[in-house]
Amino acid sequence: MKIKNILITFFSAIAILFSTSVISLAKVVGDKIVLGAAISLTGKYSSNGVHTQNGYNMAVDRINSMGGVKVGGKTYKFDIIYYDDESNPKRAAQLAERLISQDGVEFMLGPYSSGLTKAIAPVTEKYGVPMVEANGASRSLFTKGYKYLFAVLAPANLYLDVAIETAVELNGGKGVKIAQAFEQDAFSQDVRLGILDAAERTGSEIVIDDKLPKELNDMAATLAKVKAVKPDVLVVSGHTKGALTAIRQIAEMKVDVPMLAMTHCDAAKLSKQHGKNSEYALCASQWHKTLTYKDDFFKDGMTYAADFEKEFGYDPPYQSAESSAALLVFKDAFERANSFDQKKVRDALAATNMQTFYGNIKFAPGGQNVDKPMVLFQVMCDDAGKCENKVVAPLKWASAELIHPIPKWSER
């Protein structure tokens, strides 16, 4: 009996040892490169978390089916370990620890949102794990001197820069009066800083500068002020809730403003939820399917959108496109580094200079992508009330001409 117990203990100990050693070898097993990602599959970011995951999966399948990654004369395939971070920064940081120290992941993909990326970045930095992220745009991510963080997207302060510049240009180069309302979170406040910069650069004046509370549900006061002060541009950023609330109340209160610029229009499905009321709104976007960037894997934006829709049943938002681009960047860096050494891969990532269907990618020392401008689209509706997002700036990709100023409510 005793011997049997000892034997059982012995074998289970060996089994445990064996299983842990298998797990800790997980980074590159056989012909697989295992990447780790904490994604918001539940909680308040779950819809965008799923867009992110779909983007990653789409790129993994595509790269694997088109020959995989060639390192040292051998072909490898991508694989991703996902954990659900529950949209919770603390949980995300724990999961990053777990992915790195328990699962042995040596390369990471980013989570969804600036807040969660901020929680994970110190962990990946501590372990020297290169992370390519596609959904954290907050400027503060790129000013902390992180060496292993790379973002394929343009930083938040550039989101609505173009809108102000366009407004000034249309005003004959003279400064404009700007009213702005931003939610009090890292991302929106960064967008605000960008507007402040642009205002200073163009000699524009900020006439209303409201900070919206997180539990924002009512912008009536801000909009009443806008009606009284009559600015040239109204800028709103407060995630999907901000976009939806703003459009609803602007229409209800008949606020006339020559230009309305905002963020998160496509995530909020503005044109679908508000129809004609959302017409003429200008929206900042990281990507739009009509842009003419090209690569070998997804060809171009239109093809990507069609393939994505075939696989997942909906039109890809930019969150999915940028997530797919992150894997293209990793593949490129692995092949140029020709090694799985984290330092070498990191250096290769830093030297990235490529074009993907999503845009050009080239990282600044801070880790942000400096080679891809934001695009602005405008919601335009036909007579039947069907609304579409059309790119209006930068001019190079414009598929429609900007309608400015926005017609008054009494004429609509």
Partner 1 sequence: MDFLVFQVPMLTIQALLDGLLLGILFALIAYGMALQWGVMNIINIAQGDLVILGGYIAYFMYLYGIHPGWGVIVSPIIMYFVGIGIYKLVINKVVDRDLFISILATFGISILFMQLMNFAFGADVVLANSGYGTTMLFDNSVTLPNSKIFSAVISIIFAIGLVIYMKRSKLGRAIRATAQNARAAKILGVDTEKVYAATFGINAALCGVAGALISITFTIHPYMGLPYTIRSFMIVIVAGLGNLPGVAVSGMGLGIFEEFADYILGTEFRIGSVFLLLVLILVYRRFKLSRKREYLK
225 lies in the site for partner 1, by CB under 8 A: yes
Taking the complex as a whole, the smallest distance from the CB of residue 317 to partner 1 amounts, in Å, to: 12
Residues 6+ apart with CB under 8 A from 88: 43
Q: Which of 365-370's residues contact partners 24+ apart within 8 Å by CB, and which partners? A: 366/142, 366/143, 366/145, 366/146, 367/141, 367/142, 367/146, 367/149, 367/150, 367/151, 368/141, 368/142, 368/151, 368/153, 368/154, 368/155, 369/151, 369/152, 369/153, 369/154, 370/154
42 lies in the site for partner 1, by CB under 8 A: yes
Q: Which is nearer to partner 1, 48 or 324 (CB)?
A: 48
Q: Which is nearer to partner 1, 215 or 382 (CB)?
A: 215
Q: Are 71 and 334 in contact (CB under 8 A)?
A: yes
220 lies in the site for partner 1, by CB under 8 A: yes
47 lies in the site for partner 1, by CB under 8 A: yes
Residues 6+ apart with CB under 8 A from 11: none
Quote the CA–CA distance of 268 and 103 in Å, as a whole number: 36
* CA dihedral sign of residues 273, 152, 32, 107: negative
User: Of residues 369-408, which lie at the interface with partner 1 (CB under 8 A)?
Assistant: none
User: Of residues 242-261, which lie at the interface with partner 1 (CB under 8 A)?
Assistant: 244-245, 248-249, 252-254
212 lies in the site for partner 1, by CB under 8 A: yes
Quote the CA–CA distance of 234 and 260 in Å, as a whole number: 5
Taking the complex as a whole, the smallest distance from the CB of residue 183 to partner 1 amounts, in Å, to: 10
Quote the CA–CA distance of 216 and 220 in Å, as a whole number: 11
Quote the CA–CA distance of 104 and 292 in Å, as a whole number: 39
206 lies in the site for partner 1, by CB under 8 A: no
Taking the complex as a whole, the smallest distance from the CB of residue 225 to partner 1 amounts, in Å, to: 6
Which of 130, 144, 35 shows the shortest CA–CA distance to 347?
A: 130
77 lies in the site for partner 1, by CB under 8 A: no
What is the contact mask toward partner 1 in residues 300 to 339, using x (rule: CB under 8 A)?
Answer: ----------------------------------------
Taking the complex as a whole, the smallest distance from the CB of residue 110 to partner 1 amounts, in Å, to: 19
147 lies in the site for partner 1, by CB under 8 A: no
Taking the complex as a whole, the smallest distance from the CB of residue 80 to partner 1 amounts, in Å, to: 22
Q: Which is nearer to partner 1, 70 or 254 (CB)?
A: 254
Structure tokens at 314: 């909906």
Angle of helix 301-312 relative to helix 318-337, nearest 10 degrees? 110
Q: Which is nearer to partner 1, 141 or 247 (CB)?
A: 247
234 lies in the site for partner 1, by CB under 8 A: no
230 lies in the site for partner 1, by CB under 8 A: no
Taking the complex as a whole, the smallest distance from the CB of residue 341 to partner 1 amounts, in Å, to: 39
Q: Which is nearer to partner 1, 70 or 227 (CB)?
A: 227
Residues 6+ apart with CB under 8 A from 328: 59, 63, 295, 297, 354, 356, 358
Pairing of strands 32-39, 107-109: parallel
181 lies in the site for partner 1, by CB under 8 A: yes
5 lies in the site for partner 1, by CB under 8 A: no
Q: Which is nearer to partner 1, 245 or 320 (CB)?
A: 245
Please name the residue that has the structure tokens 């009443």: 224
Q: Which is nearer to partner 1, 34 or 262 (CB)?
A: 262
Number of residues that bind partner 1 (CB under 8 A): 40
Q: Which residues of 359-379 are buried (b: 16+ CB within 10 A; e: fewer)?
A: bebebeebbbbbebbbbbbbb
Q: Residues 155, 160, 165, CA angle at the centre, nearest 5°? A: 120
Which of 177, 274, 288, 372 lies at the binding interface for partner 1 (CB under 8 A)? 274
Which of 1, 67, 73, 228 lies at the binding interface for partner 1 (CB under 8 A)? 228
Q: Which stretch binds partner 1 (CB under 8 A): 97-105, 234-242, 334-342, 362-370?
A: 234-242
Taking the complex as a whole, the smallest distance from the CB of residue 299 to partner 1 amounts, in Å, to: 30
Q: Residues 198, 203, 204, CA angle at the centre, nearest 5°? A: 70
- Interface with partner 1 (CB under 8 A): 42-48, 87, 181, 184, 210-213, 215, 217-218, 220-222, 224-225, 227-229, 239-241, 244-245, 248-249, 252-254, 268-269, 273-275
